[in-house]
Amino acid sequence: MSVPLSFDGKVVLVTGAGGGLGREYALAFAERGASVVVNDLGGDIKGGGKSSAAADKVVEEIKAKGGKAVANYDSVEEGEKLIQTALDAFGRIDVVINNAGILRDRSFGRTSDLDWDLIHRVHLRGSFQVTRAAWEHMKKQKFGRIIMTSSAAGIYGNFGQANYSAAKLGMLGLSNTLAIEGQKYNIHCNTIAPTAGSRLTQTVMPPDLVESLKAEYVAPLVLWLCHSDCQENGGLFEVGAGWIGKLRWERTQGVILRRAAEPMSPESVRDKWEQICDFTDATKPASIQESLQTLVDVLSRVESENRDPSPKL
């Protein structure tokens, strides 16, 4: 039989853990031995109000099952306070699950400054604040696991969610860089785009789908990504309904339009448009170095055309 994944001795912070996905993560980590900080502001889905009830209830649930947990009621915008709760209660911080979230859906033209700012403050800035507060501790102990919660709405776009899409894909950009900066300290950062029935999705999904897409189908991926045995870093995963898939970028072969002796023109872009967009034999660049290397190669090919009057471009 395979060895069960244990989180004994690990301290895990789950933001927005008073309900939905976050609650499920908190319960699952605690069940496997982690000491859990259950953070939740306890407000409504649009970011209004606050209450300690949501976090307290999950802490009670964990304790009733013999687990270790403590509540924190601060907004993720005050990241230091969340990490301080972990340090005060358990003396360290090993895992941060950036999960707290709200929605303020509006068609783009009707999106107010507040709709934009509040979504960015909670999702993107909140994840930044919480993760930065944990970062030095993780560096010192040479261990850390971080999850960013993105969304299919960010990856693909979704009508009425311009503010949310932008913030959610911003979190992927943040994760991509943290994965690079954290690698040598054994700090791994991965991003998930989950789908599950919750109070956030019950406004947009039919009730039977809300019921069938259980949050418990998402938690196992989060636990594996946060285990010390897992070497995945900088990944992006779609997860829901009991299915998990990984995403990556794909790029067309592209076309070199520039000739050494001629300026580039928009007409040449137009004329080659089909080829520029043709994904036959697409490549899968995985780093900024690979991306830059393409440009260096192009420069040298155009240069060589300069030297050789009959280029094979």
**Interface ranges with ligand NAI (CB under 6 A):** 15-16, 18-22, 39-43, 45, 47, 54, 75-77, 99-102, 122, 126, 149, 151, 194-196, 198-201
Q: How far apart are the first and last CA of the chain?
A: 57
Q: Say if residue 129 is exposed, middle or buried (CB neighbours under 10 Å; 0-12, 13-18, 19+).
A: buried
Taking residue 273's Cβ as centre, other Cβ atoms within 10 Å add up to: 11
Tell me the one-letter amino acid at 261.
A
Least Å from the CB of residue 148 to ligand NAI: 9
Least Å from the CB of residue 65 to ligand NAI: 20
Tell me the one-letter amino acid at 96.
V
Using alpha carbons, list the distances in angstroms from residue 44 to 19, 22, 50: 11, 15, 8
Give the separation between CA 99 and CA 17, rounded to whole angstroms: 8
Least Å from the CB of residue 297 to ligand NAI: 38
- Identity of the residue, 27 or 100, whose beta carbon is nearer to ligand NAI in the bound complex: 100
Least Å from the CB of residue 218 to ligand NAI: 8
Tell me the one-letter amino acid at 158.
N
- Identity of the residue, 99 or 190, whose beta carbon is nearer to ligand NAI in the bound complex: 99
Least Å from the CB of residue 90 to ligand NAI: 19
Taking residue 230's Cβ as centre, other Cβ atoms within 10 Å add up to: 15
- Identity of the residue, 211 or 303, whose beta carbon is nearer to ligand NAI in the bound complex: 211
Least Å from the CB of residue 198 to ligand NAI: 3
- Identity of the residue, 78 or 278, whose beta carbon is nearer to ligand NAI in the bound complex: 78
The string over 2-20, giving b where at least 16 C-beta atoms fall within 10 Å of a residue's C-beta and e elsewhere, is eeeeebeebbbbbbbbbbb
Q: Which residues are catalytic?
A: 164
Using alpha carbons, list the distances in angstroms from residue 231 to 26, 114, 132, 183: 22, 39, 21, 10
Cβ-closest position to ligand NAI: 20
Strand ranges across the sheet with 236-240: 68-72, 35-39, 11-14, 95-98, 144-149, 187-195, 236-240, 243-247
Give the separation between CA 177 and CA 66, rounded to whole angstroms: 38
Tell me the one-letter amino acid at 303.
E
